[in-house]
Amino acid sequence: MKFFLMKRGCFPGISFAFLIFLSSISPVGAQNRIILHNAKIYTMADDASVNEAILVEGNRIIALGINEAILSMEDVNTDVFDLQGRTIFPGFIDPHTHLFGQAFGMGYDLDLIQQLALEVGVTSAAEMHVSEEQTEYYRQYAQSDNMRFRLYLYLNFNDSCGNVWGSWYEKYPPNVDIGPRLRVNGVKIFSEKSLCGANGAEPVFSNKLLKFFTPLGLAQWGNTQLLFSFDELKKIILQATDQGYQVAVHAIGDVGIETTLKAIESVLKSSQDKKTNRYRHMVMHNHFLTDDLLHKYARNNIIALIEPPTTCQANNYAEGVGERNMKYFKRVDDLVETGAHVAIDSDWPIVTQLLNPMNKLRAIVTGKAGTCPSDINLQRVSVFEGLKMMTSEAAYALHCEDHLGSLEIGKLADLVVLSQDPFEVVPDNIRDIQVLLTMVDGKIEFLRDNDGDSIPDILE
């Protein structure tokens, strides 16, 4: 069956055609095949290739190429979409969220939260704060076939107040699916206190930075303490590493970051895993990074996860740490320059409004996201780097780059169709780009219909 992008009214049968499409997928015994053609497909593969058409069969990408070549593979089981030049990217991956946790804690519906993610093109997310009770809850949810995108769990060793939950995570082997599209990936560790009761984050800073703090900043963060000594943290990371778990460590202040980087470095040395860091230990937040720490990521293959900064957040920090320390703030471009793996994330996606990858991209590309006027120069990256940080680099962070993160033959068919090409719009307008179609595992999980006429916008 063929679908053409046409203005409404040009093709009176289109609504009927679409209804047939919804009900006619996969004749018995045949694999569902979908061709998207006349598109601009940014594969985000290492060769940065761009293609015109893609063939998906079942849940895999079978072919990529020019329109004629892919259309010649059409058969009776193939649904064909003419995208009229629209843009395709790999499904977006968010390597650090509290998406389900937020839902769980606030009594939200997990179905709704997933729908929100799919509507903005998020096809994979890491849930970065998970208890045993939640693990079982998510497992039941997934086993009832409710998971429409992919969720990667990071099980807590301790909580944001510093309470140690211990190695209970060992009940769940690493990198094993515990339900359809649900995987236990690693262990979450707080090196510093974070949101605990009414308190905000409690980053730990060195004297080098503290000497430029404002009185307000000193009152707030002048006496904060790490949750673990270097030796304790090393022991915790070593135990997880010996069992094959990736660790994801929360660290915001330069002392928290330094202690974490050195603990990981030391574990890698003693486990003969120097440089390769095969479990891909990662540091989350990385807010205040001094020059001496910058090269430790690339050198040890430690992954940096960063939330794109906003002007309001930068102003808030500057009021405490002092303007002179803001040169250390979220050095995303400096990290890329060192050759480190860097991915961007949303953390609290509903509160930060960063669930939408286009908001993330606009923020990291312009350095001007947020409603607060600000003179602080925030680090930025190119549109291409920003997109990598939400696709191939995010897949690398979650150990799933063999199957996801780029559009290549044999990989899983997670992709999005965008209303506009982010390389071609004014950077500030990236946030206006809409997701028209989201595909997960070869299945169309979302089709936008802004005008409510039951015809997906992609067909109008």
Give the span between the Cα atoms of 101 and 7, in whole angstroms: 42
Using CB under 5 A as the binding criterion, the count of chain residues that bind Zn ion stands at 2
CB half-sphere exposure, 144, CA atoms < 13 A = 8
Q: Which is nearer to Zn ion, 33 or 96 (CB)?
A: 96
* Smallest separation, CB 117 to Zn ion (Å): 16
Question: Quick one: which segment of 84-92, 150-158, 305-313, 342-350 binds Zn ion (CB under 5 A)?
Answer: 342-350
As measured in angstroms, the least distance from the Cβ of 264 to Zn ion is 18
CB of 345 to Zn ion, least distance (A): 8
Q: At CA 346, angle to CA 191 and CA 143, rounded to 5?
A: 90
Euclidean distance between CA atoms 145 and 138, whole angstroms = 11
How many Å apart are CA 417 and CA 119, to the nearest integer? 11
Min separation Cβ 160 and Zn ion, Å? 9
Closest CB to Zn ion among residues 128, 444? 128
In 229-362, which ranges are E strands?
Answer: 246-251, 282-285, 303-306, 342-344
Binding range to Zn ion, per CB under 5 A, among 2-10, 56-64, 257-265, 345-353: 345-353
Residue 156's Cβ-side half-sphere holds a number of Cα atoms within 13 Å equal to 22
Minimum CB distance to Zn ion, residue 86 (Å) = 33
Q: Confirm or reject binding of residue 94 to Zn ion (CB under 5 A).
A: no
Q: Closer to Zn ion at the Cβ: 34 or 125?
A: 125
Contact between 345 and Zn ion by CB under 5 A: the answer reads no
Closest to Zn ion by CB, 249 or 425: 249
* Residue number with CB closer to Zn ion (281 or 411): 281
State how far the Cα of 79 lies from the Cα of 456, in Å rounded to an integer.
Answer: 15
For the CB of residue 260, give the shortest distance to Zn ion in the complex, in Å: 14
Closest to Zn ion by CB, 347 vs 445, is 347
Site map (CB under 5 A) of Zn ion, residues 138-177, x = contact: ----------------------------------------
* Cα first-last separation, the chain: 16
Q: Which residue's C-beta sits nearest to Zn ion?
A: 347
**DSSP, residue by residue, 167-236:** GGGGGS-TTEEEETTEEEEEEEEESBB-SBTTB--B----HHHHTT--HHHHHHHTT--BSS-HHHHHHH
The side-by-side arrangement of strands in the sheet containing 415-418 is 50-51, 40-42, 87-90, 415-418, 435-440, 443-447
Per CB under 5 A, which region of 60-68, 165-173, 343-351, 415-423 contacts Zn ion? 343-351
Per CB under 5 A, which region of 146-154, 341-349, 384-392, 402-410 contacts Zn ion? 341-349
Residue with Cβ nearer Zn ion (94 or 254): 94
Q: How far is the CB of 239 from Zn ion (least distance, A)?
A: 22
Report the C-alpha gap between 250 and 308 in whole angstroms.
16
- Which residue, 202 or 347, has its beta carbon nearer to Zn ion? 347
From the list 103-111, 127-135, 159-167, 171-179, the region that binds Zn ion by CB under 5 A is 127-135
- Scanning residues 218 to 257, which ones bind Zn ion (CB under 5 A)? none
Q: Which is nearer to Zn ion, 57 or 347 (CB)?
A: 347
Beta-sheet pairing, 246-251 with 282-285: parallel
Task: Name which of 192 and 347 has its Cβ closer to Zn ion.
Answer: 347
Length in residues, the chain: 460
Between 98 and 183, name the residue whose CB sits nearer to Zn ion: 98
Min dist. Cβ of residue 318 to Zn ion (A): 22
CB of 139 to Zn ion, least distance (A): 21
Q: What pairs with residue 446 in β-bridges? A: 438
Q: Which two tokens stand for residue 449?
A: 């219909």
CB closer to Zn ion out of 265 and 347: 347
> Residue 279 Cβ, how far from Zn ion at the closest point, in Å?
20
| Cβ neighbours of residue 334 closer than 8 Å, sequence gap 6 or more | 289, 294, 379
Q: Which stretch binds Zn ion (CB under 5 A): 124-132, 158-166, 184-192, 430-438?
A: 124-132
Closest by CA to 210, choosing from 262, 261, 253, 251, is 253
Which has the closest alpha carbon to 414: 158, 149, 227?
149
Helices of type H across 120-229: 132-143, 207-210, 215-221
Q: Residue 347 Cβ, how far from Zn ion at the closest point, in Å?
A: 4
Rounded distance between C-alpha atoms, residue 303 and residue 301, angstroms: 6
Name the packing angle between helices 99-106 and 110-119 (round to 10°): 150
Binding status of residue 347 toward Zn ion by CB under 5 A: yes
Measured from the CB of residue 251, what is the shortest distance to Zn ion in angstroms?
A: 11
3-state helix, strand, coil in the chain (%, to 5): 35, 25, 40
User: Which residues of this protein are in contact with Zn ion, per CB under 5 A?
Assistant: 128, 347
